Amino acid sequence: MELIPAVSVVIPLYNKGPYIARAIQSVLSQTIQDFEIIIVDGQSTDDGPRIVKSFQDKRIIFINQIGKGVSSARNEGIEHSKSDFIAFLDADDEWMPDHLETLLRLRYAYPEAGAYTTAYLVKYPNLRTKMPNFFMIPEKPWEGLIPSYFKSAAFGASPVWTSAVGIPKSILKEMRGFSMEAWWGEDTDLWGRIALKYPISFSWEGLVIYHTEATNRLCNRIEPVDENIFCHTARLAIETGAVSPEIRDDLSEYIAKKIIETAWFNIQANRRELAKKNLKKCITKKMVFKKYWTMIWANMPFKMYYLWRRLNYLNPYRI
């Protein structure tokens, strides 16, 4: 009889050789040892696969995949998982030892939730480590169901982060996993789709370290984006009456935040006309200043924007 682990840990891998051992070791060091680790490699050209295979632990499963992107890798990991509970970890991030213990405690305490997440620390390129500014989440040592996911995500740091979240397999199947229609925002799209139907559970314990100083990070890719994928999902939900009146205003402000973020992406990609097109769709009551501040930079010559960034006077990508 095949033993079913309490958690399946899915790690997508692509040219993260300098970091993958740290990620794996952070899983192997968990206080809960009933897990499997599924690593899906998208045709890495560095020594990442060799490093993975150097670990002599039968709980580690290595899968070769023709490079189809991180969403495809995560979805394949889900398909190969034995557990009914999936935790995600990016190959350049790491967990504190009680992370899985915390996720499982949340799951048993709040079975009605659609996703379970912990707080996380952000390590910046200057090696400074800081907890992001969460909003509308009760102070430590509270844990429970987030009062309003969309209000928290609109006005503060995202309460759900890819390397911090655990999701029941049944929910992932219901949502059809990560969307492969976008290279950016596909993770927050999934959290948003879940939050439209289910509460989200959060704990300050079981911390994760999100390494923004790592190289070859997908979110550092500079490329224009027509629209954040969740904006389309959310508008459709509103139009079809699938959004309860209690969260409609919070959801609208969250859409505005995502539009503004997308405009900043396009400013950085020197696509100012596309950024201005994004901002014309931005309807907000509480982010008016952010909207027009972004519009000012969308109308500035790119050289001025670049200089502003270099002088560290502008940091649009706040977590």
pLDDT of residue 303: 85
Q: Report d(CA 147, CA 247) in Å as an integer.
A: 10
Query: Which whole-number Å values give the CA distances from 63 to 11, 12, 66, 74, 223, in the listed order?
Result: 10, 10, 10, 11, 29
201 versus 182: which is more confidently predicted?
201
Domains detected in the chain: 7-219 (3.90.550.10), 224-310 (no CATH)
Q: Are the C-beta atoms of 146 and 136 separated by less than 8 Å?
A: yes
Mean pLDDT of 161-178: 98
Residues 40/85/37/76 CA torsion (nearest 10 deg)? -10
> Is the predicted pLDDT of residue 37 greater than 80, yes or no?
yes
Q: Are the C-beta atoms of 209 and 123 separated by less than 8 Å?
A: yes
* Helix (H/G/I), strand (E/B), else coil: 106: helix
pLDDT of residue 183: 83
pTM score of the predicted model = 0.92
Question: Mean pLDDT score of the chain, rounded to an integer?
Answer: 93
> Is the predicted pLDDT of residue 171 greater than 90, yes or no?
yes
> Is the predicted pLDDT of residue 150 greater than 60, yes or no?
yes
pLDDT of residue 216: 62
Q: Report d(CA 12, CA 5) in Å as an integer.
A: 19
Q: Are the C-beta atoms of 97 and 171 separated by less than 8 Å?
A: no
> Is the predicted pLDDT of residue 108 greater than 60, yes or no?
yes
